[in-house]
Structure formats: C-alpha cells, structure tokens
Structure 1
Amino acid sequence: MLFAHDTEVALQSAAALVNTADEDPDPLAEAASYQAFVQQWEWSGPITYDAAERAAVSAIRPRLRELWSMGEVDAVTWVNDVLADERALPQLVRHDGWDWHLHATPADAPLASRWIVEAAMAVVDVIRAGELSRLNTCAAEDCDNVLVDLSKNRSRRYCEAGCGNRANVAAYRARQSNG
C-alpha cells in the first residue's frame, strides 16, 4: 500500500467522480444511477440522494479535475483554499469497520463538502510524499479521464474505462498487419 487506505479511497473516489462528467448519460443526473455511484464509495454520514445533493456533488467535479493538471505550488493553494472554504477541522474517527482515520468535516456536513474535503486531505498526503505525479490523465488519445496511479513502479497509464485493453488490441493488430 502506497498511502493509507483512506487516502487511496479518497483519491480513487475523487477520480471516479471527475470521470463521471464525460459519461453519457451522466450517472449523477438520475436518482437511481447517482445512488448506485455514491453507494459504491461507502460514505458515512447522511446522504439524501435528492436533486439538490446531486447538483452539489456534480458542481465539485470541475474543481476536483483541476488537481490533475496542477503542479505542487498550485495544488497546495488548491488544498488550502478547499480546507478554508469548507471550514475543515481534522479529527480522528473510527466507524463502520474502518480503523482510526481523519475526517475534516462534521459527520452531518453535506456530501459534496465531505467529498471535496476528503480529496483535499488525501492530496495533503500525496504532496507531503512528493507523489503528485501519481495523479495522471489517461494515455489513450481519445480519452480525457483522470486516474490515480497506485502501482509500485508508477506504470499505470490508462483509466478504468477499457482504454488499456483497446490500446493493447490496436497494438497487436498493428503488429499482425506488419508481420
């Protein structure tokens, strides 16, 4: 494990949320698909699944996406701005089978606030470890998805939308046609 479990989950959930912006149909637009998406990340605290919450969660996607194109100084500013905007107050908590970890928002804070603050707290760990380069964009020419490279050797190049498989098949076919 490269980072603490909660850091990795926060980074992966932020990337997954960012990537929903380019899906058609948008999984956050309809109540049922939104609920399924949110539930896979096992958020604690209240979740309403209503239109206002869906809109608020959708609204943080562009701000989260910014992280994947920032250098260290800009990422530090981003983190500090998010934590200040959301009035984050880190606290150690243990719940739902998770051992001690940090929460920086009250348990009853709106989901969008909890999501962006969790991402900001995770990026704190990434910056402190000098690993900001692990926040990448998919290497496929036709894909703008973001990804978190948690591999030991920093080798992850493709998102989870099947781009790696498509690239491998295309390379195989190119080799076959040239052989």
Structure 2
Amino acid sequence: MPFSHDMVCSLAAVADLVNSAPETGGLDSLTGAGELREYVRRHELSGVGEVNGADLAEVRALRATFLEIFAEPDAASAVARLNVLLERTRITARLTEHDGYPLHVHYFAKGAPLAEHLAAELGVALAHLLVEGEWERLRTCAAPDCERVFFDESRNRSRVYCDSRTCGNRMHVAAYRARRRA
C-alpha cells in the first residue's frame, strides 16, 4: 500500500520520538528545550509555536505512551491504548497544501500545546496504520544489540533493521565473516 507523504513523515516522527528514549538502547536525546526544538524543526511540524521547558516534560510523558503503544503485542492491544491517547486530545481536521505537496489533511487543534499537537497528529497516523491492517509495519530492529523502532515503508514489508547503513551493514558483515570461518 502506498502511504501519503504526510503519513510517512508522521510515522517517522513518532519512531524518532520513541527512539529518543533511553529504553530503546541509547542515551536520552530529548533532555532540553533545544533538543525538542530541533526535533520539531527536523520533522517540519507545522502549526507549532514557541517550544519551552513545560513542553519538554509533556512530550517526554507522551514519548513514554508511544513507547507503550509500540510495545503492544498485537493490534487489538495497540488500538485500546491508542484510543485512550486520542481521547485526551482535541483533534481538528484541517485541509492544507504546503511545500509542493497536494491537498491533504493535518490533525491537531490550533493553539494546542506541543504534546497535544503531537498526540493528535502522530496518533492519527498510527490509527490510520491500524485501520489499514498495516500494524506489522511498526517494528523493532532485528539486530540483537539494538532496540530502536522504525516504520517499514518497503513495498514487500521486508525491512528488518532500523538503519541499513549501521545495524544492517554490521549484521551482514558479521554473517559474511561467519560464513568465511565455516
């Protein structure tokens, strides 16, 4: 199934937010308002005002909720947890055209705090993935020493590593060396 540009961007943003947590095997990369501003800039989140320290605490709590959603063992459990998250947001559908992309829908309430904005926009992207029966595209890296999550947007659902240049390359080199030793 082809995914819209905005859906791919939103799913990448939610994976990036989850991967900023130390529970995914690295350091906490969301420790200050500056890192949060960089996250907003990197993902080109529209409709976001000034980012401050209060936003940081709320977004970190939201990050924990998204981590729980990713960790759900099946789609039905993810649906239940995602519904709880979405019930806490004011969602306004807004048609928009920007950056050369055709007309599409953004989901968030104008003037909402950053965490609520992210919960709405990223939560709706996850909801669409569930509705389309594509929940299995949300994955954890197959490398044994990596806990990062990612969205598999490949046509044949074959991606297994969070990054082919790091984890994928490392695992392929290890397999090659093991074959050479055998």
When normalised by structure 1's length, the TM-score is 0.88
Residue 134 of structure 1: which of 117, 133, 137 is its match?
A: 137
Distance in structure 1 (CA, Å) of the matches to 2:94 and 2:34: 32
Distance in structure 2 (CA, Å) of the matches to 1:72 and 1:27: 28
**Residues matched between the structures, number:** 177
Superposition pairs of residues 1-150 of structure 1, within 5 angstroms? 2-22=2-22, 23-24=26-27, 26-70=28-72, 71-150=74-153
Superposition pairs of residues 158-177 of structure 1, within 5 angstroms? 158-160=161-163, 162-177=166-181
Deviates more, 1:12-21 or 1:48-57: 48-57
Deviates more, 1:133-142 or 1:58-67: 58-67
Whichever residue aligns with residue 6 of structure 1, its letter is: D
Secondary structure in 1 aligned to 2:51? Answer: coil
Cα RMSD after superposing both structures:
2.0
- Give 1:35 shift: 2.7
- Structure number with greater CO (CA < 8 Å, separation at least 6) is 1
- Give 1:118 shift: 1.3
CA contact (8 A) 2:90 2:109 kept: no
Distance in structure 2 (CA, Å) of the matches to 1:96 and 1:54: 27
Q: Which runs of 5+ in 1 are unaligned?
A: none
CA contact (8 A) 1:3 1:125 kept: no
Deviates more, 1:1-10 or 1:15-24: 1-10
Q: Which runs of 5+ in 2 are unaligned?
A: none
Deviates more, 1:105-114 or 1:148-157: 105-114
